[in-house]
Structure 1
Amino acid sequence: MSSPRLAVVLGEPGGIGAELCAYLAQDPERARLCTIFGSTEVIQAAARAIGVALDIVEADAGIERAGQLRVIDFPVVSQRFGVADPRNADAVMAALHSGIDGCLAGAFDGIVTGPIQKSSLHAAGYNYTGTTEVLASRCDTDVVMMLARDDLRVALVTTHLPLRNVPDAVTPALLERTLRITHAALETQFALADPQIVVLGLNPHAGEDGVLGHEEHEVIAPVLALLRAEGMRLVGPLPADTAFLPSIRATSDAVVAMYHDQGLPVLKSEGLDRAVNITLGLPFPRVAVDHGTALDIAGQGVASPDSFLRAIDVCASLVQQRIPTG
């Protein structure tokens, strides 16, 4: 097939997204796949700050050498690294929505999103809870958040909730939806035939037969039985403290965790620079860096581009191996 066409959204102009794009320009093989949605001025300033060559070309131009980058310009009001200025919120959101529009229209095959500063958007009056939620709304579909690295994929039933709210949020309907979306994505996006999924319990020791909680028996196990009857290969509910043992991981394709900090510390502790955030359930692949805007180091040339470049590689791979549905 032809090379994937990726929309890359810069994100917060005051953060490290611009210098990550400047680093991308030094890699023409990756840069050829990408069109940046963000401020030309900010990316040029980042390139100067970190001392790399940059030649911004038109969005429909070819990339012929290192240092070139295709950019669709979304001008900002203020350009200052280390500061998330709410006056730039309109440009940030316009770039994000334009990248999504391009994917929905078929002009791009997938989207890679840089980190966005939620507090800045809130200060500007945007009711922004996250890019994942924006994508779900724009595409009118249910989605699942998955964090992944080379040898481990962790999908989440609940995401950014206070821990005291998690038990009530883990309903049979939500768990079933999460497992169906995850299973379908493993088949169609990751091209895995008959995937096996490990499902964690909610409580310590997966409830220990009801002594430490009833959610495993009352919520999780019935859903697993229903889906196993349809042919899904599901293991669990397993205690989270043993589910990541090498012997279990070696035979499984993904882990479904009940809440954010149940599954992600294991993945992140084994190499944050190789981890990416994937949104499952969209009509096109979306991959994001697994780090924030890093305002404290923006423009200093010390930010690592590894997660950003990894996100581009993963998105391109998902595009190429995607199995058409419908």
Structure 2
Amino acid sequence: MKTTTIKAFGTEAANKPLHEMKIQRRELQPHDVSIEMLYCGICHSDLHQVKDDFGGSSFPMVPGHEMVGRVVAVGNHVTKFKIGDLAGVGCIVDSCRHCEYCEESLEMFCKGEVLCFNSPDKYLGGSTYGGFSESIVTDENYVLHIPKTLDLAAAAPLLCAGITVYSPFKHWDIKAGKKVGVLGIGGLGHLAIKIAKAMGAYVVVFTTSQSKVEDAKRLGADEAVLSSDAEQRGKHADSLNLILDTVSANHDVNTYLNLLRADGSVVLIVLPTEPIPIGAFNVVKGRRSFSGSNIGGIAETQEMLDFCAKHSITADIELIKMHDVNEAFERLEKGDVKYRFVIDMASLKSN
């Protein structure tokens, strides 16, 4: 298969910094679109994969799965996009297309799911490469339309962080009259506050940081609770319909299970490196549950983007240049960002 050589930023090993490299993109297939990269968000999952925190990372690796760009070429059977369209690519770039999950637009559960990086590349062999690159070639069925009203740089994190919080809110039917807890205010948590409020929920934030107690109100939270204050937490006992858990560090989930109403759920949307103990009484009492959720399907991701455009929701970002990505990873590991790094991909071309 013919290929095109482009610039990218990646690494050959978990213990090496990211640097400029050359990668190959496939020639356009009939249903492919080629997207010039404009902005790419940096997610904690990028850091986990680069550091091989869970094992199974393949190298060389080019991370990045929160991509916003412009369509520059289309295959001869493409019907959903035209040259010049604003387009986004998230975590999923292919799936089997015929299993029960694909037929229900739940591609994230498909056993044949192909991720935008660190997945087997059925076209070129080796592994797929992500958004820290000049461009990407992707099947039109896994590409999103980016609403023109959104700030493009601040919209990039919606392609992972946005759908990761939106999907469980939809699944658990969050709306006016529901009370939602958000545990942790970071890249995920700050978007969870904005989206839950736009859905009409009453939002209570739990954070270990006094400074973020104040910032939670700016983001739209109705109340903010210092997690270490048992008295403040106790005021919300047996009252929350759902708590979205965005904390990767070790923490006692049982404390928050006891804040749920009957049939409520604590929903984990991150990947802690250590097991999380659950006390049986905390779930049996009140038929409460401890659940998980992982991104969302392509159709739901488009729904989320349109919802965010309607309600003027984007991420709070720090825009960086490509050569600052290693420093950004170090700061991300320390939690030193409010609230999402986004790379201006024009800086890759100028390197």
Return the structure number with greater helix share.
Answer: 1
State TM-score, norm by structure 2. Answer: 0.28
Highest relative contact order (Cα 8 Å, sep 6+), 1 or 2? 1
State TM-score, norm by structure 1. Answer: 0.30
Return the structure number with greater strand share.
Answer: 2
